[in-house]
Structure 1
Amino acid sequence: MLKQFMEFPLPISRKLKLSVLKRMLPPESTEFIVDATYCGAHMTLDLLDGPQRAIYQHDGAEKFMLHFLRDYLRTLPGPQTFLDIGANAGNHTFFMADHADRVFAFEPQHSLSSRLKDIVNAHPHLGNVTVCDFALGTEDKTDYIYDVGKCSGARSIIRNHADDAVAEEISIRHGDTVVRELGIESIAAVKIDVEGYEPLVLTGLAETLDKHRPVIVFEHSEANRDSYDGFEGMKKLFPDNYDFFQFDRRGAYRYHNARRGFYTVFPFRYDQPVNIIATGGVANLIACPREAAIPQTNFTPWPFETRKR
């Protein structure tokens, strides 16, 4: 009955449905699976897993970022490729399949990469998606990814973890080598969400980024800040003549704007604490080649909204 309630298209918000689910589920529950459709693809979603719950709640998580990437690709001529590094539940992968000519999704967690492959194989309109079941880094090797939180998006190769944390052995490949082997061309945009492994991903893709000069959206947190050795250290991970922007959390992270997919971007200030510029202490930054023109905003406030700088 509860599953039917969550799946049935009632004239109430999914946020309210999730509130009901939270109150009715036994506290020891570890998963709650529903059938859903996202970007024309039928799939199951675990509503107790953060990334999958966000897809259910907003019909796409981080819609401000999705719409920014969509709008950027629309400004470019010719065929374009999107790299989703840390694809997880496929939020960005499936959305961008409608807007990029080719999408390459990199996800080393075996259960998640298998799920992505099954969804892609079951839907002909996702034929431009290639799922790679390994991480990208600076060398070919095996390593372990550890639980550092309560959802599939909180697993990290390098961040501190409890001694008894669940560990999964994964494969890591040298980024530039993989791009050459797969014959990936015309890379327009890259999304990186790898829980602190961003510096190694960027270092391993140095040749690729220098050649294609894509827009790069990546996570920034206080933990990441410590690994960069200052703003100059962060900039060295990118090709020359890149500028950095951030999403305005007031225009992007409010509930109704998350649902509508509105965004506003403005220049990034490295000296600001991350918890000032982003909800939850994790910001999404944009690294943009100086010769490219990125969309600045699609934000249209509702009449009751007042926004202050």
Structure 2
Amino acid sequence: MPEVMATRCTSLRQSMPIQPAIERPRQWNAKQALRSLLPQAALNWREASYFKKFGEVEMHLVEILCRNDQDAIDVGTNYGGYIHFMRRHARRVLGFEPIPEFVELLRRKFPRDVTIEPIALSDGAGEAELYMPLIGDVMVSGCSTISAAASAAYPAHRRLRVRTARLDDVYAGTVGFIKIDVEGHQQAVLDGAAGTIARCRPRLLVEIDQKLAPGGLERAKAYFDRLGYSGHYVHRGRLGRLEDFSVARL
């Protein structure tokens, strides 16, 4: 089978799901108290069932894209929706997530079979400003980015200094599947993972938002063309060739 690069392409920010950040309430209600009494495995099962029914359609591709004798890497893990599927079909799962609240949450949810690294993957090592958009008083964690240009799509932000690294510098294993959802910063992540991709030839799922990263689809396509990958996109439950993708025709 030829290597596959699947994309989730969007042109309008309104078309993407909005996920608020974790907020610790001052008083727990009865439902939250009940959740605190349930074992983590039961909570994970319930959450996985939710994502299977209401999550992104691409989550249903994870079973096909993973290789059970190789690792899976989730870049931009957030709440860990994709990890529920990866851990069933990969040898080992690594998640890269720079927001401390999510690192804590993810390590609590997946204490044994998932490694969470508090790093924002990019094309260089050091530190960067993470922009976490605010809509009113609500932080939209799922739209956080270290791309200053992409952050301009929102009028207000909470900022956080985070560690950055190249995947090539922090990973030496054998990966069969990489998912990248980094809100306009995907090309830097790909550039920092070029050695790993050339060495392992993993399958990839890359979110590309043309509003956050104009020309991002063309750059990603050129990148993968050089590596001999075939590209596809999913629309209304059907798989299409990337060269046929056009927002105007969707």
Contact map agreement 1:60 1:91 (CA 8 A) in 2: no
Unaligned runs of 5+ in 1: 1-30, 46-51, 122-126, 252-263, 278-309
Q: Deviations over 1:114-135 (max 9, x none)?
A: 11011222xxxxx221111111
Task: Give the equivalent residue in structure 2 for 1:69.
Answer: 62
The number of residues matched between the two structures is 211
Question: Which one has the largest radius of gyration?
Answer: 1
Structure 2 CA distance for aligned equivalents of residues 102 and 136 of structure 1: 19
1:155 aligns to 2:140 (yes or no): no
Give distance in 2, aligned partners of 1:39 and 1:67: 23
TM-score norm. by structure 2 comes to 0.72
Which among 257, 264, 272 is matched to residue 246 of structure 2? 272
- 1: CA distance between counterparts of 2:131 and 2:39? 28
Return 217-226 or 108-117, whichever deviates more: 217-226
Partner residue, 1:120: 110
Residues 12-64 of structure 1 show CA distances to partners (whole Å, capped at 9, x for unaligned) of: xxxxxxxxxxxxxxxxxxx9985398994526x9xxxxxx8x974755622x3
Give the structure 2 partner of residue 235 of structure 1.
221
**TM-score for the superposition, normalised by structure 1:** 0.60
* Cα deviations by residue, 1:65-109 (Å, 9 ceiling, x for unpaired): 222120233xx5x61211100000011112211111100011011
> Are the aligned partners of 2:62 and 2:85 in contact in 1 as well (CA < 8 Å)?
no
Kindly provide the amino acid, as one letter, of the partner of residue 141 in structure 2: S
**Bigger relative CO (Cα 8 Å, ≥ 6 apart):** 2
Q: 1:60 to 1:116 in 2, by over 3 A?
A: farther
Letter in 1 for 2:234: F
The residue that corresponds to 2:122 in the other structure is 137
After TM superposition, where is structure 1 displaced by more than 6 Å over at least 4 residues in a row? 36-39
Counterparts of residues 1-309 of structure 1 (less than 5 Å): 34=32, 35=35, 40-42=41-43, 56=50, 59=53, 61-62=55-56, 64-73=57-66, 79-121=69-111, 127-148=112-133, 150=135, 151-158=140-147, 159-161=150-152, 164-180=156-172, 184-185=173-174, 187-223=175-211, 226-228=214-216, 231=218, 233-238=219-224, 239-248=226-235, 250-251=236-237, 264-269=238-243, 272-273=246-247, 277=250
Offset, 1:165: 1.7
- Unpaired segments ≥5 residues, structure 2: 1-27
CA RMSD of aligned residues (A): 3.2
